[in-house]
Amino acid sequence: MDKKLVRELEIDAAKIRIGIIEGVYNAKCGHPGGALSIADVLAYLYKHRLNVDPKDPNSPTRDRMVLSKGHSAPALYAALALRGFFPFETLKTLRQSGSMLEGHPDCNKVPGIDASTGSLGQGFSQACGMALAGKISCDSYKVYTILGDGEIQEGMVWEAAMFASHYKLDNLVAIIDNNGLQIDGKLSEVMSPYPIDEKFESFGWNVITINGHDFSQMEKAFDAAERVIEKPTLIILKTTKGKGVDYMENAVEWHGKAPGEEDYLRAIKQLREHLEELEGGVE
């Protein structure tokens, strides 16, 4: 992957992180931790991978992106705003009464949202339906869905895993944000889903594990997924929860809590400085 693109993706990811913190701070609640951990993959998908058009958000041939871990909505909203679906300023209305930016995504309110999600496990099944629809009509669109690593404790995730492989949905790419933490603590202590890769492999999936903050690895993994036939692909992203805000990194308490003013200023300062560094470095 060329350096210029990497830098652009880094800039988008930094902006998404700023959008997350602005949104959650203004809402005085929300889920920053798992939103920050997927900022990079969303930057990659919306800048570089997805065939979507803000001018025609419901195009039947568009790629679909279902955020099955719907509580990370602030990250998705920021990515959509960056892609031009709505103004970045709207992010500050997150979770306010009358805002289109619900606490969890509503596909009837927000352009660019392909599924209403938030109750864990359900977006994955919806993505399977979209992928099956594409197969039936021989459309070439792809369906991407992002799940939390805690989310896969839901039983219906494994129903969907069976379904996707049974119907050979090679147009489906599931992405697991493996940051290792859930509300009540470490995954390994609350209810271990490990080994995630072997479980999905045994369900008939093509599984690729990468560093979820490395764009070059993403590029290789998503390219590889396109080459696989008759099997769905799972990309496990090894990520850091709270990535980009030092005191939120790997800190379970930032799963579902908004920063107060002092914490907000600290976070936004770090993120802005990082963004300025990146922008200063673009040729």
Partner 1 sequence: MAELTRRATREGYGDGLCELAEIRPDLLVLDADLSAATKTSVFKKAYPEKHFNCGISEQNMMGVASGLASTGRLVFASSFAMFAAGRAFEIIRNSIAYPRVNVKIGATHGGISVGEDGATHQCCEDVAIMRALPNMTVIVPADYYEAKAAVLAMADFNGPTYLRFGRLAVPMFNTPDYKFELGKGVTVKDGKDITIIASGLMVAEAMDAAQALKETGIDARVINIHTIKPIDRDIIVKAARETGKIITVEEHSVIGGLGSAVGDVVLEEYPVPVIKIGINDVFGHSGPAKVLLKEFGLSAENIVNVVKANVK
Helices (H), the chain: 3-27, 32-37, 39-44, 73-83, 122-136, 155-166, 187-190, 196-202, 215-227, 261-280
Residues near partner 1 (CB under 8 A), total: 34
How many Cα atoms sit within 13 Å of 277 on the Cβ side? Answer: 8
Which member of 55, 136, 227, 283 binds partner 1 (CB under 8 A)?
136
At 147 the three-state DSSP class reads strand
Under rule CB under 8 A, residue 264 binds partner 1: no
Q: Which is nearer to partner 1, 88 or 158 (CB)?
A: 158
User: What distance in Å separates the CA atoms of residue 104 and residue 113, rounded to the nearest whole number?
Assistant: 11
Residue 249 tokens read as: 């990194």
* 173 within 8 A of 233, measured Cβ to Cβ: yes
Contact with partner 1 (CB under 8 A) among 67, 160, 176, 234: 160
Q: Which stretch binds partner 1 (CB under 8 A): 17-25, 160-168, 191-199, 211-219?
A: 160-168
Which of 19, 134, 193, 259 is the binder for partner 1 (CB under 8 A)? Answer: 134
Say whether residue 140 binds partner 1 (CB under 8 A).
Answer: no
Residue span binding partner 1 (CB under 8 A) among the ranges 48-56, 131-139, 226-234, 266-274: 131-139
Residue 191 has phi, psi (to 5 degrees) of -170, 100
- We find the least distance from the C-beta atom of residue 153 to partner 1, in angstroms, to be 14
Q: What is the dihedral of CA 157, 162, 165, 171, to 10 degrees?
A: -30
* Amino acid occupying residue 144: Y
Q: Which residue in the set 73, 132, 147, 176 belongs to the binding site for partner 1 (CB under 8 A)? A: 132
- Contact call for residue 159 and partner 1 (CB under 8 A): yes
> In this structure, are residues 233 and 207 in contact, taking their beta carbons and an 8 Å threshold?
yes
Specify the residue for token string 């998404």: 16
For 64, the enclosing helix (H) or strand (E) is strand 64-67
Q: Tell me: does residue 14 bind partner 1 (CB under 8 A).
A: no
The 171-190 contact track toward partner 1, x by CB under 8 A, reads --------------------
CB of 239 to partner 1, least distance (A): 25
| Integer Cα distance of 174 and 207 in angstroms | 10
Q: Which of 51, 54, 96, 162 binds partner 1 (CB under 8 A)?
A: 162
Query: Stretches 74-82, 90-98, 130-138, 237-245: which one binds partner 1 (CB under 8 A)?
Result: 130-138
Look at residues 81, 83, 84 and name the one whose alpha carbon lies nearest to residue 101: 81
Near partner 1 by CB under 8 A: residue from 55, 87, 98, 108:
108
Tell whether residue 115 is a contact of partner 1 (CB under 8 A): yes
Give Cβ neighbours of residue 36 (< 8 Å, ≥ 6 apart): 17, 20, 75, 241, 242, 243, 244, 245, 248
Asked if 129 is part of the footprint of partner 1 (rule: CB under 8 A), the reply reads: yes
First to last CA, the chain: 16
199 forms part of the interface with partner 1 (CB under 8 A): no
Q: Which residues bind partner 1 (CB under 8 A)?
A: 60, 66, 106-108, 114-116, 118-119, 121-134, 136-137, 155-156, 159-160, 162-163, 166-167
